[in-house]
Amino acid sequence: MPIKVPVGLPALQAVIDEGNAVEVLERPTAHTLRVALLNIMPMKETTEADFIRLLAATGEEIELTLMKLDTHTPKHASPEHMNRFYRGFKELKNEHFDGLIITGAPIEKIEYEEVTYWPELCTIFNWAREHVTSTLFICWAAQAGLYQKFGIQKYLLPKKMFGIFPHSIARPDIPLFNGLDSTIYVPHSRHTELKREDIVACKKIELLSESEISGVYIMHEKETRDFFITGHSEYALYTLDGEYKRDVSKGLPIELPLNYYRDNDPAKEPVNLWQHTARRLFGNWLKYYCK
């Protein structure tokens, strides 16, 4: 189905050049879902492509708005790119969206209150309750959202959680998991975690999916349509490969991503265990929770 993005966005052409079937929506229709992406990842164009690739494959008609923080200037994106393709929160705060995706950020070892844009991010979390039908909090944003809303803490891991992990589904009866197998695979790449006992103890949220290895994965705020997701279902096939080889080249301590390379050999191609699940998961989110 078609997707509308800011005119001239390089990430759209990158996704098309990969061979993905993407139809560009010229103008919104009565069936168009308005989705905002608050992209706080450092490599903007990579993250844009990840979500365009995924959203365009869901079967829904989407108008994607790229949102930026007004109180933060990205170090790895040009001012020209941000000014041309992104809209600040102040500009968007009076608008309504069917869906909002808030990405992670590589700042998980920093205390929340020490993050320079924490006050604005908290404002956006509160704003979304009245202006967004359903919000997805991804990776660090999931940790941040659960902390801001419920005081749930994050904990430093002894080593990086890195690879593709099997997850069970606690509530296969809900629409979010329509068409999915009982075991789903999800990429994780993080240095911190949420404790299962903290999640279960909070009566306002429900644990929907978890892994014996990588821990809690999807949580739902019971009184809303909001979901907190600790993994990276949106990752492209070679994202973990790039992270692994980057750290190796820098001489950083890094283990092979688990369940990722064929025969656990980094000279071989990754095994695609998660992308079908990701398309179904995001498609269900748009179809059943954003309308």
Question: CA torsion sign, 197 to 211 to 194 to 37?
Answer: negative
| Catalytic site residue from 108, 167, 232, 290 | 232
| Catalytic site residue from 48, 63, 108, 139 | 139
Hey, what amino acid is at 207? L
Q: What angle do CA 220, 58, 165 make, to 5 degrees?
A: 55
* Chain segment 13-62, per-residue pLDDT in tens: 999 999 888 888 888 888 999 999 999 999 999 999 999 999 999 989 99
* Chain segment 82-126, per-residue pLDDT in tens: 999 999 999 999 999 999 999 999 999 999 999 999 999 999 999
Cβ pair 98, 134 in contact under 8 A: yes
Runs of H (alpha helix) within 86-233: 89-92, 118-131, 140-150, 196-201
Hey, what amino acid is at 90? K
Whole-prediction pTM value? 0.96
139 is catalytic: yes
* pLDDT at residue 1 is higher than 80: no
| Catalytic site residue from 188, 210, 234, 290 | 234
- Specify the CATH superfamily of domain 2-289: Class I glutamine amidotransferase (GATase) domain (3.40.50.880)
232 is catalytic: yes
Cβ pair 255, 165 in contact under 8 A: no
Ranges of each domain in the chain: 2-289
- Beta partners for residue 258, in sequence order: 163
The pair of structure tokens assigned to 260 is 């990722």
